Amino acid sequence: MRSKMRAGTVLAVGGVVALLLAALAAGAVKTSAAAPVGSGKPSPTKSVCGLGSGKKAKGTPIKIGSIVTVAPGVNWDEITDNVRAYFNCVNDNGGINGRPIKYIVHVDPINPELVAAFAKKLIEEEKVVAIVGTIDVMDCAVNAAYYAQKKFYVIGDGVHDLCYGGTPYHIPINMGPAYSTLGAAQYLWRAGAKSIVAVSPTGVDAAGTWNKPAVEFAKSKGLKGIDVHDPYPTQASYALKYVQLAGDGGGVILDYTTDQLLTVIKAAEQQGIANKVLWAASTPAYDTRFAARAGSFWDNKIGINTELRPFTTTGPDATLYRQVYKKYTPKKWGLSSFGEFGFLDARIATEVLLTLRPNQLNAKGVNTAFTKIKNWKSDLLCRPFYSGNLPGHLPNNWDLTSTGKNGKMVQREPCFPIAPVTPEVKAARAAEKKYKLTSGVSYPPPAWQR
């Protein structure tokens, strides 16, 4: 009887073990919980969020602020949402040596008085130690003098021309609409366009300067260059207008956000005039949502200037960006250039903060450190990033061209230098050489050398 019972027990235990093994083999049971996103040991092939400890930061928060333009047709909170996503990942991985980052964002509906008030509020009332991820139509123009007075160096993304070489207090990770349009013009010229029509939106290109470098470039190559400013392109007639302006075999650059761009190109497709010209767009259209919506007709047909390297690669930062996006970014956004901007804004700032001693984690310490960034590398950048003690900044002056194919974004051209058609590009290149900003020892150092 007892032996029968023992045999039964053995059989039962054996059965359970067999079932468990089967379940394990089928992947139904995990041997351990998945590692938190952004955790682990950093290496040249693996990027992590901050310390990568996998432990939540619980100390006194470090406040970082930002100003973002959000208005009809201008949805740049995609960038600040991605900055917040990365900071949240950092906070879930040990924060800044145990202290979490508190990210404060003020939304500007395109009102210069508000932009000025927000900067004051962030620095004087909310006592932020840094401003990171700002993307505002007027911040560079409105607040440059105030930032100079307070010695705040904004690591963010520029829009206004002054952000690119016009003030030392903005260190943009992007190259902005004017240079992105220029990059698109260079692509069109290489593709054999006979003319270049550059179109920018009046709502945000209030000064009407975004197309100037592209038109200048076209003229330098002996092509007809036409500068067009239009409101939100609501009607099909806009597409016909651009095609007529460019003429057969000409090139059209649309500096619009994804939805505005789609309005124009779909109208051109429906009217059967899309193949009369070559098409290009500035960086906002480097977005999974564009590829998904454009349709197969536009496969390989539109060169989208991409200010950062593709998020589709297996590079460590591209991989981390996708992981952070998956867990932390609101899904109303896609994977995109704007997402990459936010990710890199936050990542550079975090890496700098992690090099500072606790008594340096104040506005003075952090902003001084921001001016020392040098030869900082990422697989999302064509060239190393830097700040330097310069009168103006244009560190991102190389980009590439992408296009949509089979519902996905694919790279079309390798990285290329932006044509030196403005004094700012020339000055940036000269400073890089003179101060060796893209060579030598990196600051902040790579995470695995920290």
Partner 1 sequence: MLPTLHDLVQFVPLGLAVGAVYGVSGVGIVVLYRTTGVLNFAYGAIGALGVFVAFDLINKTSWCPDWLAFIACVLVGGAVTLAYGLVFGPVFAARDPLVKSAATLGLTLILLAFMSWRWPANEVRAVSLPSDNWHDYGYQIGDIRVSWTKIIALLFAFVVTAGTTAFLRYTKLGTAYRAIANDREITATLGVPVRRVETSAWLVSGFVCGASGLLLSGLLNSLEAVTLTFLVISSLAAALIGRLQSLWVTLAAALVIGVVESCLQAFSLWPSQDQPLAQYRAMTPFVLAIVALLVLGRKRELTLSRAGH
Which residues contact partner 1 (rule: CB under 8 A)? 72-73, 75, 77-78, 226-232, 234-238, 240-241, 244-245, 258-260, 262-263, 266-267, 270-273, 276, 289-290, 293, 332-333
Distance of CA 259 to the CA centre of its chain: 18
Give the H or E element holding residue 381: none
> Least distance to partner 1 from the beta carbon of 260, Å?
7
Q: Which residues contact 114 (CB under 8 A, 6 or more apart)?
A: 106, 108
| Residues listed for the chain | 450
259 backbone dihedrals φ, ψ, rounded to 5°: -70, -40
- Pick 189 or 238: Cβ nearer partner 1: 238
Q: Residue 45 or 235: which CB sits closer to partner 1?
A: 235
- CB closer to partner 1, 147 vs 256: 256
Nearest to 196 by CA among 240, 254, 268, 237: 254
Both structure tokens of 219: 């003229």
List, in sequence order, the alpha helices (H) in 191-311: 212-220, 237-246, 258-270, 288-294
Cβ nearer to partner 1, comparing 82 with 93:
82
User: What is the smallest separation between the CB atom of 236 and partner 1, expressed in angstroms?
Assistant: 5
CB of 291 to partner 1, least distance (A): 11
Helix, strand counts (H, E) of the chain: 13, 13
d(CA 42, CA 34): 17
Q: Specify burial of residue 33 (Cβ count, 10 A radius: 0-12, 13-18, 19+).
A: exposed
CB of 302 to partner 1, least distance (A): 15
CB of 248 to partner 1, least distance (A): 9
**C-beta of 227: minimal distance to partner 1 in Å?**
7
Q: Which is nearer to partner 1, 78 or 345 (CB)?
A: 78
Closest CB to partner 1 among 197 and 320?
197
CB of 88 to partner 1, least distance (A): 19
**Nearer Cβ to partner 1, position 263 or 401?**
263
CA separation for the pair 388, 367 (Å, rounded): 12
349/231 Cα distance (integer angstroms): 35
Q: What is the DSSP string of 182-195?
A: HHHHHHHHHTT-SE
Is 223 or 353 the residue whose CB approaches partner 1 more closely?
223
